[in-house]
Each structure stands twice: as C-alpha cells, then as structure tokens.
Amino acid sequence: MNESTTALEGLPVMSREELLKVALENGGYSTPSLNDTLYLHYKGYRRIENLDKYDGLKSLWLHSNGFERIENLSHLKELRCLFLQRNAFSSIENLQGLDSLVQLDISENSIRVVEGLDHLPNLTTLNLSKNVLEDAASIQHLVECKNLSAVDLSHNKLAGKDVVACITGIEKLTSLNMSGNPVCSKVAYFRKKMIVANKSLRYLDRPIFDNERATAEEWARAGPGAEQELKAKLLAKKQDKERNAMQEFRQWQESVRTTTVNNNTEVEDAVVLRDTMEALITAVEVKSLLLKTDTVVNEEKQVVEVELAECKTVEKEKENVEPQDDFVAQKVKSLSLYLNSKGQRKTLEDLLVDSSKVPAVVLPPDALSFDVVSSDDDEETDLMSTSS
C-alpha cells in the first residue's frame, strides 16, 4: 500500500515521506530545514502534521485541502506568509509562536468570529473574505491587531451601523475591501462616513484621492451644500491647472519649433562653409598637381634634349669614320662566317692577331659573333674565294 495514504480512508496524509517528495518535486531540498517554501496545496490532506523539521520555512501553502483545524504550526518561528484559504476551518486558533508572520490568508472558509490574532505582532495583511462574518462583534478582535494595515472583509454578511465604528478602531488601516456586504448598501453614506472616520484610509474598494477626502470632510462639517460648493471650486481649480498646463505645453512646443528652425539654419550655414572649404582645398590640390606636372615636363624635356645632343654627337662620329673601317668590318664578318661554318665560334679579339694592321673599331656586342647553320661545301668555297 502507498505510504502516503491511510489504510482506512484512502486519502493522502502529510507523512514525512510525502513532504520530502513534494519538496523535491518543487525544487526544494532533501534536508527539511533548508527549505524556505513548501507547496502543499491541492493535495487533499485532512490534517496538518509532520512539519516539525521544517523550521526554516518562510512561506507555507496549505490552501485548497480538507483541513478542519489549524494546528502543529507554532514552531515555525521564521514563517512570514501563511495561506490557509479554501479549507474547512470554522475558527482561528493555534497560531501562537508565529511572531514573524506578516501575511495571513484564511478566506473562503467558515469563520464566524475573528479571534486568535492578537499574539501576531507583525501581522499587516489579513484576508477574511468569503466567510460568514455577520456583525461588528464578529470583527471586533481586529482592533487588537496593532500593525494591521490591509484587510479584506469582502463578500461576508456584515451589517449594522456599528461596523463603521468597529473598523475605525483599527489604527493603522490604509486599505479595506468591503464590497459584497449588506452594510455598504444599507448604511447611508457608508463610503463618506468611512473616509471621514478613518484618517489614514487610502483605499476603500477603490482608491481614495485627496479631493474625495476633502469633499467628504466638508460634507461631514457643513452638509451637502458646502460639499457641492467645494466640488465646484475644486473642479474650477482642476480646469485652470489643465489650462495652464496646456499653455505651458504650447509655449514649449513653439520654443522647440523655433530652436529647430535656428538649428536648421545653422546646419545650412555649416554645410555651405564645408562646401566652400572643400572647393578651396580642391583648388589648392589642382594647382599643386599642375606645378608638379610642369616640373616633370621640364625634367623630361631636359632629358630629351640631352639624348638628342648625344645622338647628334654619335652621328658626327660616324661621319668621321675612314672608309677602310668598312673594309675591315667586312673582312671580320667574312672570317666569322667561315669559322662558324666549321663548328667553331670566334670573337673579334681572336681574329685580330696583328693589331697594327686593323684600326680600332667600336662595334656592338651582338655584332662580334654570328651563327651559320648552312653546311653546303660549295657555299663555303665561294665565301672563301670572295673574301680573298
């Protein structure tokens, strides 16, 4: 049989194994004291038990089960939030020791009388909606909760003029939900009376603004006529404020437009200045380039003139060469052709044995040797006879 169910009823119970399983399923720890939150809602438990090792809890979710009694919680000294809604509680009990408790939700139960909360010194938020509270006596205990600031009593059965006086006794009350109670509709001017009676109240089923508080207090002081006059003054003041705000907005809008126009003009001037500077820079660069081009042209012109002079000098030297130089060159060429035809390669220096008979001739290096590929003996004989 499953350890998390009872043998008799077949319903889940809060066994140690069940609590460990639930803790691990919700990202908790296997060591009970390390868990600060425990989600035990919608489990079908009938009894609160076996939480003695979970003394480090700060938030405990026990709503939507079948609990009939509040028990076995007094050791949770660090608990700040306790959710007990949607169970079967008929009374508030056994909350001693929960000194750190700040929020308690016990809505949607069968609570008939509020009790057992005065020993919770730090309790600030209490939800008692959808219970069976009927009159001022059933909520009188709230006056003893000195730090209580937010209370939800909506959808109960509260009725009677003394409910207003009872709620007024809650010193630090700032937020109150009372919708769904007969007192809201059966007590004349209930909202105005509550606002006037509770100076610290800022929320009563909807926000309470300063103008509403001022008119309610004027109603209580001088009657409905004075209230209407104050409403008219406040309305006129509001309209004047809105009108002034609109004028300030239009002035600001006009100043922004003027600033935008000025900025646009400045931008246009800056663009013109930028274009002018770019044009000047381009002109300077072009002039510099022209100067460089003239310099290069002059240099090239000088080089050409030098080369032309050299060419003229060479031509004059060629004109001064004696005619015998052509004969010597022709003879050297013939000898070179003959020697090459025999498979030998000679240069001018090898042929000119007797330098006294051949004048100095300046020839290009390519003219100093020749290759002859013909091997016809008749052609060789003719060449030799011609040269001799």
Query: pLDDT tens-digit profile of 207-230?
Result: 999 999 999 999 999 999 998 999
Query: pLDDT tens-digit profile of 148-191?
Result: 999 999 999 999 989 999 999 999 999 999 999 999 999 999 99
pLDDT-derived band at 325, boundaries 50, 70, 90: low
| Per-residue pLDDT at 293 exceeds 80 | no
Task: Evaluate whether residue 232 is within a structural domain.
Answer: no
- Provide the residue range defining the domain that includes 181: 16-225
Q: What percent of the chain has pLDDT over 70?
A: 78
Measured CA to CA, the distance from residue 302 to residue 297 in angstroms comes to: 9
* Averaged pLDDT for residues 9-15: 84
* Averaged pLDDT for residues 117-135: 95
Same domain, 335 and 219: no
Return the pLDDT at 105: 97
Measured CA to CA, the distance from residue 94 to residue 71 in angstroms comes to: 6
Greater confidence (201 vs 316) lies with 201
Query: pLDDT tens-digit profile of 95-116?
Result: 999 999 999 999 999 999 999 9
Same domain, 210 and 351: no
167, 192, 225 — which closes off a domain? 225
**Angle at the Cα of 33 (from 29 to 35), degrees rounded to 5?**
45
Q: Which helix (H) or strand (E) holds 249?
A: helix 224-319
225, 246, 273 — which closes off a domain? 225
Domain count, the chain: 2
Task: Evaluate whether residue 253 is within a structural domain.
Answer: no
For CA atoms 348, 352, 353, 355, the dihedral sign is negative
pLDDT-derived band at 336, boundaries 50, 70, 90: low
Return the pLDDT at 299: 73
pTM of the model: 0.63
Task: Evaluate whether residue 370 is within a structural domain.
Answer: yes
Task: Evaluate whether residue 258 is within a structural domain.
Answer: no
| Per-residue pLDDT at 260 exceeds 70 | yes
Count CA atoms within 13 Å of residue 256 on its CB side.
6
Axis-axis angle for helices 190-197, 210-222 (nearest 10): 100
Same domain, 36 and 182: yes
| Per-residue pLDDT at 321 exceeds 80 | no
| Per-residue pLDDT at 322 exceeds 80 | no
* Averaged pLDDT for residues 237-256: 89
Nearby residues of 150 by Cβ (< 8 Å), 6 or more positions away: 124, 125, 126, 173, 174, 175, 176
The two tokens of residue 8 are 């008799």
175, 204, 225 — which closes off a domain? 225
Classify strands 59-61 and 37-39 as parallel, antiparallel or unpaired: parallel
Closest CA to 194 of 210, 209, 178: 178
Return the pLDDT at 319: 61
Task: Evaluate whether residue 166 is within a structural domain.
Answer: yes
Measured CA to CA, the distance from residue 184 to residue 265 in angstroms comes to: 66
Residue 51, CA distances (Å) to 60, 82, 340 in order? 10, 14, 123
Greater confidence (319 vs 342) lies with 319
Same domain, 215 and 349: no
Closest CA to 114 of 87, 92, 145, 144: 92
Same domain, 37 and 161: yes
Task: Evaluate whether residue 260 is within a structural domain.
Answer: no
Same domain, 212 and 90: yes
| Per-residue pLDDT at 50 exceeds 70 | yes
Axis-axis angle for helices 224-319, 210-222 (nearest 10): 160
Closest CA to 116 of 70, 178, 49, 60: 70
- Indicate the residue type of 324: Q
Determine contact, residues 153/131, Cβ cutoff 8 Å.
no
The two tokens of residue 228 are 């209407």
Share the mean pLDDT of the chain.
82
CA-derived radius of gyration, the chain = 59
Measured CA to CA, the distance from residue 98 to residue 116 in angstroms comes to: 11
The two tokens of residue 160 are 């009677």
208 burial type by CB count under 10 A (0-12 exposed, 13-18 middle, 19+ buried): buried
Here the CATH number for the domain that contains residue 71 is 3.80.10.10
Task: Evaluate whether residue 198 is within a structural domain.
Answer: yes
pLDDT-derived band at 74, boundaries 50, 70, 90: very high
Classified as helix, coil or strand, 82 is strand
Task: Evaluate whether residue 263 is within a structural domain.
Answer: no
Lowest mean pLDDT among 6-10, 141-145, 172-176, 214-218: 6-10
Lowest mean pLDDT among 149-153, 294-298, 360-364: 360-364
pLDDT-derived band at 368, boundaries 50, 70, 90: very low
For CA atoms 24, 26, 27, 28, the dihedral sign is negative
Measured CA to CA, the distance from residue 249 to residue 222 in angstroms comes to: 39
The two tokens of residue 388 are 């001799």
Which one-letter DSSP state was computed for residue 199? Answer: T
pLDDT-derived band at 279, boundaries 50, 70, 90: confident
Return the pLDDT at 9: 63
Return the pLDDT at 266: 73
